[in-house]
Amino acid sequence: MKAVFFDLDGTLFDTLPDIRKAMNYALKAYDGEEASLDEVRRYVGRGLHRALSIAASEKKAQGLDEDEFELMFQLMVSAYGKHPVENTRPYTGIPELVEWLRNKGVKLGIVSNKSDSLVQEIVEALLPGSFDFILGEGKGYPLKPDPSGLLAGIKEVGSSPDEAIYVGDSEVDAETGKRAGIRTLIVSYGFRTPQELEKAGINTALNTVQELGELLNRVI
């Protein structure tokens, strides 16, 4: 294998606390109820716009027509953009795993449904210089599970689908890898529990970063 590509949220970094803070800021502005960390975990995966839409409905935000919802979303994005790495951290073992892969000469990439500016800022703050390709939402590719961004990244780093692995933490990532025709590894230490992944038909999730590293060591 020449390349390993990662999802960002729930795979490399625990971003939930900062997403929750920004989401609740926007909900409060529209008299919505506060979302818990576990609820926000359930909302995310297909982009922040969709996550906030679910939250606004469940948390009974008031006075939302289409235009007002877009203003609410911009409020969340603004709040998140001011504090994207206040409480965000790499999962235990991720920095070491990334360094090991780089030392092996493996090309590394990130494909995320989070806005590209936020993805770039988070990576630069927490794992600068570690990735050969970084792609977030807003760079001309459809959101995952559309595989276009992932396939473009693999091509850009000089690899091919049969020489690459994709690592994610959700049913969205599993579908993305499947559509791309790429070997895909799903972890259960992130935003989906083993039970949720099993319900989605994913029965081979890796429970820790150590398990992920051990499997990668066998195939690289």
Cis peptide bond N-terminal to 95, omega within 30: no
Torsion of Cα atoms, 186 then 191 then 196 then 197, to 10°: -10
Q: What are the residues facing 108 on neighbouring strands?
A: 4
CA atoms within 13 A on the CB side of 33: 11
Q: Compute CA distances 147 → 93, 154, 180, whole Å.
A: 27, 11, 5
Are the beta carbons of 122 and 8 closer than 8 angstroms?
yes
Alpha helices in 66-163 (DSSP H): 66-82, 94-103, 116-126, 148-156
Q: For Cα atoms 196, 86, 18, give the angle at the middle one, nearest 5 degrees.
A: 35
- Which of 7, 9, 14, 173 does the annotation list as catalytic? 7
Can 162 be counted among the known catalytic residues? no
What is the C-alpha to C-alpha distance for residues 215 and 209, in angstroms, rounded to an integer? 10
CA atoms within 13 A on the CB side of 31: 4
User: For residue 18, what are its two tokens?
Assistant: 């900062």
Catalytic residues: 7
